[in-house]
Structure 1
Amino acid sequence: MITNEELLIVPMAAHQLILASSSPRRQELIQSFGLPYIIRVSDADETVEQKITPSEFVEVLSLRKAATVREMLEASDKHGIIIGSDTVVVYNDEVLGKPVDEEDAFRMLKAMQGQTHQVFSGVACVDAETGKQVVSHSVTNVHMKAMSDEQIRRYIATGEPRDKAGSYAIQGIGATIISGIEGDYFTVVGLPLSLLSDMLLEFNIQVL
């Protein structure tokens, strides 16, 4: 995996993509495109006060993250496409974000066990120089296995749910509690690559 130190030795102008995320999984996914990129962590406020749909929610936050990074860049560094992304889990019309503690994680996993929930991932692409914006989202249905309280506790004890929306990670040991999905796997991971590649075409960037 390319480290931040290795990335920083390349002039900013050479980079096509600027990922506005500190998420290791999103960094690994963006690397799979084989395009030059850098990481610029967004410190955007992730609170949304007004009542909006999950799809609107992830699009609003994705764009806010990308726009915040654009504001952080010096004028001489505004080259490339900034990518912001946000993911939420929705069950019974409740948006499930990252758990505040282990009991909150247990509450989420207990509610979803043996049921189907939705994962929404938003993506925003912003031209660092011109400010041109393209925003979209995708949704995937996820079927979770029925589990005992003991199984849920053992999963929580791995530490994996701690910073994950919905308290699980499909790309980790959390894969063992998922029986199937309907839709894009990478939407559940946190960055829908197929959607993103289509959006980048709006900026004349081709992945293939």
Structure 2
Amino acid sequence: MTPARFILASKSAARREVLTNAGVTFEVQVAGVDEDALKTPGVDPRQLAIDLAKAKALAVSAQHPDAVVLGADQTLAFDGGLVSKALNLDQAKARLASMRGLPHQLHSGVALAQGGEILWADADTAHMVVRDFSDAFLDAYIAHEGDELLHCVGSYRLEGMGSQLFDKVDGDYFTVLGMPLWLVLDKLREFKVLPE
């Protein structure tokens, strides 16, 4: 049986790398969803991650109804609020400084759609504890990572020097990278994108 055509509706380089390294064949199409429209006051961060993933999957599925489309997004809950991507390195530096020594939750939402309908959606959460790093380390980190930090909701990449920011991470490594891989692979087998 020929596997279903599979499209990743995300521009995330980390998500592409995770799927590629897992041996999954896929196409990429950026969804172009207005994420801010879904970020209403008081929204639950975990549910928002799922809703954003659904919106992305549906947007691309409408253009390619034959394909199974994976939408994915992350939200970060910190200090009772929702954190968005930093707009510049000064914001990234200030955010990381404010998170020093404190916990936060990173929610990775995923959704599969086909024929303009959601087949499945879920999220996984990683609980992260930022270490009490020095100002000198923060300066070195910002200089080393540069504008790459503006593509990450927490202004860190765990797969890079960002691993040095943390005391503890409870949760799946792939969830931190932006995709709860085990959940996704299981559903890709269920919906005949991957062999069982």
TM-score by length of 1: 0.83
Q: Distance in 1 between matches of 2:190 and 2:44?
A: 26
Distance 1:55 1:175, change over 3 A: same
1:103 offset after TM fit, Å?
2.1
SS at match of 1:67: helix
| Matched-pair contact (CA < 8 Å) for 1:197–1:207 | no
Identity over aligned residues, as a percent?
29
1:146 offset after TM fit, Å?
0.9
Q: Distance in 2 between matches of 1:155 and 1:17?
A: 36
User: Of residues 18, 29, 48 in structure 2, which corresponds to 1:57?
Assistant: 48
Task: Determine whether 1:46 maps to 2:35.
Answer: yes
State the number of aligned residues. Answer: 191
Distance 1:116 1:132, change over 3 A: closer
Deviations 1:102-154 (A, max 9, x none): 22112210111112211100000012x36342110000111211112222122
Q: Distance in 1 between matches of 2:149 and 2:191?
A: 36
Distance 1:79 1:36, change over 3 A: farther
| Matched-pair contact (CA < 8 Å) for 1:15–1:36 | no
- Alignment RMSD (CA, Å): 2.0
Distance 1:62 1:118, change over 3 A: same
Aligned to 2:75: 88
SS at match of 2:117: coil
Q: Distance in 1 between matches of 2:48 and 2:162?
A: 25
Deviations 1:64-85 (A, max 9, x none): 0111112233xxxx33310000
| Matched-pair contact (CA < 8 Å) for 2:61–2:67 | no
**Unaligned 5+ runs, structure 2:** none
